[in-house]
Amino acid sequence: MRKLGVLLVAVLFFAPSTVLLGVATLLNPAATATCPPGSLLVGPIPDSLTTTTRDGATVTLNRTQLTHAATIIITGGQTPGVGRTGVVIALMAALTESGLRMLANTGAYPESADYPNDGDGSDHDSLGLFQMRPASGWGTVAELMAPQYQARAFYGGPSGPNYPSPRGLLDIPGWEGLDPGEAVQAVEVSAYPDRYQNYQPIAEAILTALTRPTGTGNGSGEAPVVPETTQLVFPLPEGAWVRTSGFGWRVDPMTGERAFHAGSDFAAADGTPILAVADGVVVHAEYTGNYGGLVIIEHTVNGERVASYYAHMWETGIHVTEGQTVAAGQHIGDVGSSGKSTGPHLHLEIHPGGQGADPVDSDAWLTEHGTEGVAASDTALATCTAGGA
């Protein structure tokens, strides 16, 4: 994947069509973007959750364990075909295999202790939440010590990092019709296949406690919890835009007066796909005064809450709904010229700290964070309509 940071500086005052068309075709993050159901939207993570196993044993999970569960839930929401049933199965697997802990294994891989972990395991060469084995082809030590990677690998499917082997859940024919415990066993291939069913009540309790319905508040006024993004993407297809106005003071093109411009403007043809810059949760998706058609998405980038604003879409050009979970590179809307606008363009704002916090220079922010480009020919693969699944 080639980074666009240097290129963005190089084209500061030039149309990208003269430069970016020479960039090699990139691995397209939009190709695997999905429109997961809002019922998998994670709300605030409690400090603890106490529940019981099928055989009546009481289990109390702490905030760290529940944070790993949130990662599994939202990763499932970003993976087509998983749904709530698949997430319950994944939670059952992680509860059974590791107790929802990211386990290093210093006996087999001393370097695994160099990665963030919740303790040291000792089961063969198994690592992480799902106790996946590098020797079995699940991934490298570095990959398997990342919770999101392990969740993606467990779900599998064509977008899984392990496709086509070892098989993830989506690679098991008819997994939806299996008993959840049997479905876990089909992926984990454990010597103790009967132990997974015992954790189904806990998995269901976690899912109920951590998620909330689409378009509803969480009752506390808190922003939804968003796991760390898997990647960062430039919000318009390569070769489709021209930078027209930057961040800072300028002469307002509509009033002729000096005014502060809180975003960066990228001119593009009416209807050009607009892409989410990172994994996140939609917190606003409607027509709003001077912004016109506006989508706001909350993300977590390098541990920091960040909100991205995408303005001036036509009302019919908004393809997401409030409360929806989106993936980096997902087609969230189309370029328009609604609100305070003199022609079709994307007005992009970046607000570190989240919605309502002060904006920064989005152009510079994209460059500093090494956003990846998406080929124009691939954006159709990421098309998403409101309410899609």
Tell me if 323 sits within 8 A of 38, measured CB to CB.
yes
In terms of DSSP H, where are the helices of the chain? 5-10, 63-77, 83-98, 141-144, 147-155, 180-188, 200-210, 362-368
Question: Residue 309 — pLDDT band, cuts 50, 70, 90?
Answer: very high
Question: Residue 157 — pLDDT band, cuts 50, 70, 90?
Answer: very high
Question: Residue 166 — pLDDT band, cuts 50, 70, 90?
Answer: very high
| pLDDT value, residue 58 | 97
Q: Distance between CA atoms of 171 and 337, rounded to whole angstroms?
A: 43
| pLDDT value, residue 378 | 55
177 pLDDT higher than 70: yes
* pLDDT-above-70 percentage for the chain: 82
| pLDDT value, residue 81 | 86
22 pLDDT higher than 70: no
The mean per-residue pLDDT over the stretch 41-49 comes to 83
The mean per-residue pLDDT over the stretch 357-372 comes to 93
pTM of the model: 0.56
Instruction: Estimate the crossing angle of helix 83-98 against helix 63-77, to 10 degrees.
Output: 140
49 pLDDT higher than 80: yes
Question: Residue 358 — pLDDT band, cuts 50, 70, 90?
Answer: very high
**Average confidence score pLDDT of the chain:** 84
Bridge partner list, 132: 127
| pLDDT value, residue 1 | 34
| pLDDT value, residue 222 | 58
| pLDDT value, residue 223 | 60
3-class secondary-structure state, position 138 = coil
The mean per-residue pLDDT over the stretch 277-295 comes to 93
